[in-house]
Amino acid sequence: MSKKKKDEVKNEMSESKPEDNPLTKLDDDGRNTYLIAAYQGNLKEVKSIEKEIDDINTINILDSGGNNIFIIACVSGNLALIRYIETQYNKSKDSNYNIYHTNTNGEDAYLTAALNGHLEVLKHLEETYDWNIHVTIKDDKDVFFLAIEKDHVHIVKRFIECKNYNVYKTIIQSKNTYDIFTYAYNKGAINTVKYLENLNDKLRWKMYDGVKSCGSHPLLCAAINGHLECVKYYIENYKDRDIYVHNTSHNNIYFLSASSGYLNILKYLDSIHFKIDDKKNQKNQNIYEYIKDSKHKDMLEYLSKKKLGNKFKLITYNSVDSCPICKEKINSDDTICKCINDHAVHKECYIEYLYENTIESDFKCCYCKEKLLQACFIAI
């Protein structure tokens, strides 16, 4: 840039208001053009902006999250940009270039690279600065557990293969103990789950033994957090495992999914004929009693219809009678309700009719006298 042009930029900056200056104007994350260029991994733009400024400190600031330009560059994963910033720091020793800086969340460049899945940046930081991979960052989680959380399986694999890392380490979260195996299921990290499950048998089963001793179970963790893909993978790929495992309250995956409002998991379990009607928890509640006070209305509707559906039986009905609800002819393979004195009626018609005529009460069915679920049905 010519001296004349440089002077023009200087004058423009001094005359304009800070919020009007394109180089100093901040976005919603508190980043100016200089930091945005670093965030985008645009080394050319970073160098270009530096040439326009006499005093780099006017734009080399921390963003609203306390991130300096080095951490921001690690978000982008541009190794050339990261090396360039390292050179700038070695020249100026400006604290805003500091490679060991931590933001307001206690995250440094190494953690940032791991969270964003940049393996080459991680390797560079380890080799250049001997970063300690065992350092606990926050909430008892180190970089490895945070990589599992983000499902960066290539980084997880590096730690597994690193002889200096204890893959049998456990952490405590919300009073629950997890090892890496259970934690992957708990976070729905399906790629990491598949990788860990397909490790050599000795390592995988050693981890699984650790899971059982921790008190947390991978299938229960996946179900209670709504990770259908992990639930399906566990059930469909490991037929030798007990899918009716339960927690200390004797709630199995069906109970836990229902209480958490994950209807998609319930429908999947029903599709594989998961046995539930005879199951009771520690309070001697069946699934219908357990869920009756649920705030998940769609769950109540689904289970209420399921309960009604279980009252039906298949019969051979040789009659020209029609369904009293839809008025359509009854076929020989239609179903009837046990509590309507064997009067033929379409199962779907009956359930829909009852559900549409709802009221919140403690009414009992006028046919079988069974107490109805809360917010359910008046029989025809």
pLDDT average, residue stretch 212-224 = 76
Q: Which residue has the higher pLDDT, 295 or 151?
A: 151
* Residue 186 pLDDT > 80: yes
Per-residue confidence (pLDDT) for residue 16, from 0 to 100 = 43
- Of the pLDDT bands very low, low, confident and very high (cuts 50, 70, 90), residue 346 is low
Tell me how crowded residue 275 is: count the other CB atoms within 10 A of its CB.
11
pLDDT tens for each residue of 11-34: 544 444 445 566 778 889 999 999
- Whether the model clears a pTM of 0.85, i.e. scores above it, the answer is no
pLDDT of res. 373: 39
Mean pLDDT, to the nearest integer, of 296-303?
82
Structure tokens of 280? 């009771």
Most confident of 49-53, 153-157, 330-334: 153-157
Burial code of 208-224, b = ≥16 C-beta within 10 A, e = fewer? bebbeebebbbbbbbbb
Angle between helix axes 43-52 and 79-92 (nearest 10 degrees) is 30
What distances in angstroms separate CA 69 from CA 30, 38, 152, 168, 282, one per listed residue? 12, 7, 24, 35, 55
Lowest mean pLDDT among 55-64, 320-329, 331-340, 348-357: 331-340
Q: In this structure, are residues 313 and 301 in contact, taking their beta carbons and an 8 Å threshold?
A: no
Q: Which class in CATH covers the domain with range 1-131?
A: mainly alpha
Rounded mean pLDDT, 128-133: 73
Give CA separation, 145 vs 51, 105, 136, 255, in Å: 41, 16, 10, 28
- Contact criterion met (CB below 8 Å) for 136 and 142: yes
- Least confident interval from 142-156, 161-175, 215-229: 161-175
Minimum mean pLDDT range among 53-57, 207-211, 245-249, 375-379 = 375-379
What's the one-letter identity of residue 97?
Answer: Y
Q: Are 171 and 177 in contact (CB under 8 A)?
A: yes
Mean pLDDT of 231-242: 88
177 touches 212 (CB < 8 A)? no
The contacts found for 163-167 with CB under 8 angstroms, 24 or more apart, are 164/133, 164/134, 165/133, 165/134, 167/203, 167/207
Structural tokens at position 248: 């200390």
Domain boundaries, the chain: 1-131, 311-380
308 by Cβ neighbours in 10 Å (0-12 / 13-18 / 19+) ranks as buried
In this predicted structure, what is the pLDDT of residue 105?
Answer: 86
DSSP reduced 3-state for 239 = coil
Q: Count the neighbouring beta carbons within 10 Å of the beta carbon of residue 368.
A: 13
Q: Are 306 and 258 in contact (CB under 8 A)?
A: no
C-alpha span between 135 and 143 (Å, rounded): 8
Handedness of CA 41, 141, 203, 186 (dihedral sign): negative
Q: What is the predicted pLDDT for the residue at 359? A: 43
Determine phi and psi for 365, rounding to 5 degrees. -60, 130
| Partners of 170 in beta bridges | 179
Instruction: Please tell me the predicted confidence (pLDDT) of residue 177.
Output: 79
Mean pLDDT of 136-163: 84
Indicate the helix (H) or strand (E) that contains 59: none
Find the mean pLDDT for residues 151-174: 82
Burial of 17 by CB count in 10 Å (0-12 exposed, 13-18 middle, 19+ buried)? exposed
| Rg of the chain in Å (alpha carbons) | 31
Helix (H) or strand (E) segment spanning residue 354:
helix 347-356
Residue 201: pLDDT over 50:
yes
What does the pLDDT look like over 55-93, one tens digit per residue? Answer: 777 788 899 999 999 999 999 999 999 999 888 877 766
